[in-house]
Structure 1
Amino acid sequence: MNESDVDGAKLLAPLRGTTPDGESAVSVEKAIATGKRRRAVRGALGAAAVAVVTVLAVILVPAALNTNRDEQVRVATAPTEFNVLRQEFTVGSAGGFTPYAYRTGRFAQRIDLKRAGTPDPTEPTAMVTIYPSGPYSSEPDGEPAPAVNDRRAKYVPSAGPRSTRIAWEWADGAWAYAEVPPGPDAQAIAHRVAQSVGRGGTAPARVPFTIGALGEDRVLGVVNSMPASNHGPTAQLLIGRTDPSGASGEMVGIVVGLTTASGQQNTSLDGRPAIESPGRVTMLDGGPGRAATASALISAEPLRLKEIAASVQISGDPANPSTWPVNPVR
């Protein structure tokens, strides 16, 4: 797999393709194609590597002329990685858009938005992506834009033919992007969406189940629905390994979640009823009307899919996120 394909895998947002009956509407081919377009744009930007700097959390600024007091200024600092089990940011409703899904990750946190008052779309109508400091936060080229929450900002080239983007340095050496559909007021709308992004709260990213030991795999992120979603509280766990090239962050290999129990049993795992199909294993004994699924997005050994699906244990009330476990790995 080349870097473009891996980048496409990173752009997958499994939750937005989940329908009430558990069938996925996500197109892997479409997501990978989107990733290739976005990588091409980033390559065209030609952003230089960010220089390593040391930032003090609090510094003292000399007092202005004709004053006798120093003013204490707090400098916003960014981590080099995010916690995959925390939602590090908040996004409000702005510009006619509202958030409906949140995806965590070490090297990006992403929030999908839709037009307010509409059902969850197959593809997000608008999107916010926040990066930590490091290789993914090189300053982009672009035209000056109004400051976002008092931080410098730029209107930057679109990642595709149907979007308008604004980038802002949400903390020293770390950049975020808001992307909205094109239109006469698209830049102003993108700016309003960006203004609605806040840091704080760090809400836990949870799933209503636990899984067994991951071996060489690890948790790469969690996808949670947000209050505006019409799917109710839903969640999926993203599992995979570090990209072998070391250049593109993480590669999502397996998505684990709960779904409605349906379909005809065609196999048994450890004496338990299951359905096995190419790239997907569903355990049918997840409780009343529920099933646990493990789906391969990129590549996964069939035996590994079976092991992960069979290890899923429902924990807490699937309808009440406050009861879900903090750590999904037993």
Structure 2
Amino acid sequence: MDHFEDGARLLAPLRDVDPDLRSGVDVTRAVKTGRRRRRSRLVVAAVGVVAVLGLSALVAPGLVSGLRENPPATGLADPTLFDMRSFPLQVGTAGGYKPLMYSVMRVKASVSLVRTDGRPGTGEVSMYPRTRFQPDPAAAGFPAAQPPIEGRRVFWMPGEATPTLVMEYGTDRWVQVTIEDDQPDLRNRVYHVAESVAFTSADVQLPFTISPTEAGLPSNLLEIQNTVPLSPPETSVVKLSFEPLGRTPQVTITATPQAPSITTNEVINGHAAAVSPGEIILRDVEGYSFKLHVDTPLEDFGADRLKALAATIDLVPGGWTNAPVR
């Protein structure tokens, strides 16, 4: 199995529903759906990336570049949108779990967790705008508030199959912490993970830019993912959607600092490439390999469009960027 096959397991989107800004999707329901199907994917990820996991007990500014205080999002013109140039929260190692991957979308920011001992057991810390996720602590049957964390209100979500804690942040955000595992005292572990959450931002770090506009393909930036450690990440992912084309095709671009042993069959913008239906791998772009994968039916996107998009990939000279789409 080559590193891209491993990466596909590691970097498969850690949700089953991508909230669309215009869809009115029920994020609370989507969260529940994602949790039911997340466990098997993250177990594989826990095995595949042990070598790149390395945060200390609490995230410190020295571990992440661009770390800064992230005040509550009050008074914003549109509080439903996250700034996709940074991750708005950090999670430490606590309760026997540690961060695996950071992800930011416009309506959700999340950190996936794995056990520190490498055994099966996964979790997620997610932040939502209040306009998209609104637990109602005043509702009948909602458990009483737990001891506050750093002065923030904390509640257990009722009716959940696994312990799920929600924590209020400012007036515009809710944070949700959940763990799926068979370890004892899961509630205590979830609470300790919540205690490790730091509301500081860290810049997204991507070694490349891409230009759908140059390829004649207007797009929306859906999601950015970085593996731990964040500075620099071992693997980076950018996910784009192409609204005007058919049934909204999506393309995932994965960058990894190694060249796989693959057979190439074309040359794209001077780089040897393995081209197959719905997928292109640029084998070696100055030490990086890039995989472009169409996440929706290929007929909605087309091989020529994918090649045109791949031809616009450029490495950032001598550094990183938090704005991958140019």
Which TM class, normalised by the smaller chain length?
0.5 to 0.7
Q: CA RMSD in A?
A: 3.8
- With normalisation by structure 1, the TM-score equals 0.67
Residue 290 of structure 2 corresponds to: 292
Question: What's 2:222 paired with?
Answer: 220
Q: What residue is the counterpart of 2:4 in the other structure? A: 22
Summarize the Cα distance change of 1:216–1:226 in structure 2 as closer, same or farther, 3 Å threshold: same
Shift of 1:167: 1.0
Output aligned runs, 1:262-281, within 5 Å: 262-269=261-268, 272-281=271-280
Q: Distance in 2 between matches of 1:150 and 1:21?
A: 44
Matched, 1:189 2:189: yes
How far apart in 2 are the matches of 1:278 and 1:128? 35
Instruction: Compute the displacement of 1:84 (Å).
Output: 0.8
Deviation at 1:278, TM superposition (A): 2.9
| Cα distance change, pair 274–40 in 1 and its aligned pair in 2 (3 A) | closer
Q: Is contact 1:178-1:190 (8 Å) kept? A: yes
More strand by share: 1
Identical amino acids, percent of aligned pairs: 24
**Aligned residue for 1:126?**
123
Does residue 99 of the first structure (1) align with residue 95 of the second (2)? no
CA-CA distance at 1:114 after TM superposition: 1.2
Distance in 2 (alpha carbons) for counterparts of 1:272 and 1:166: 48
Alignment partners' CA distance in 2, 1:128 and 1:93: 12
> 3-state SS of the aligned residue for 1:25?
helix
Aligned length: 262
Of 302, 312, 323, the residue aligned with 1:327 is 323
Q: Would you say the 8 A contact 1:158–1:164 is kept in 2?
A: no
Query: How far apart, CA to CA, are the structure 2 residues paired with 1:296 and 1:270?
Result: 20
Q: Give the secondary-structure state (helix, strand or coil) at the position aligned to 2:309.
A: helix
Structure 2 unaligned blocks of 5 or more: 20-25, 34-70
2:39 matched to 1:39?
A: no
Per-residue deviation, residues 15-53 of structure 1 (Å, max 9, x unmatched): xxxx9712212697996499999727869xxxxxxxxxx
How many angstroms apart in 2 are the aligned matches of 1:135 and 1:243? 25
3-state SS, counterpart of residue 22 of structure 1: helix
Q: Distance in 2 between matches of 1:34 and 1:241?
A: 14
- Structure 2: distance between partners of 1:216 and 1:284: 26
Question: How far apart, in 2, do the equivalents of 1:137 and 1:243 lie?
Answer: 32
> What code does the residue aligned with 2:180 have?
P
8 Å contact from structure 1 (residues 41, 157) kept in 2:
no
Deviation for aligned residue 1:184: 3.6
Q: Is the 8 A contact 1:206 1:328 kept in 2?
A: no
CA distance in 2, matches of 1:220, 1:37: 16
Do the aligned partners of 1:86 and 1:203 also contact (CA within 8 Å) in 2? yes
Confirm whether residue 139 of structure 1 aligns to residue 136 of structure 2.
Answer: yes
Secondary structure at the counterpart of residue 80 of structure 1: coil
**TM-score when scaled to structure 2?**
0.67
User: 1:13 — aligned with what?
Assistant: none
CA distance in 1, matches of 2:226, 2:95: 22
Q: How many angstroms does 1:316 deviate by?
A: 4.3
| Matching residue's letter, 1:25 | R
1:154 matched to 2:138: no
Compute the displacement of 1:265 (Å): 1.5
Instruction: State how far apart, in whole Å, the 2-side matches of 1:199 and 1:208 are.
Output: 25
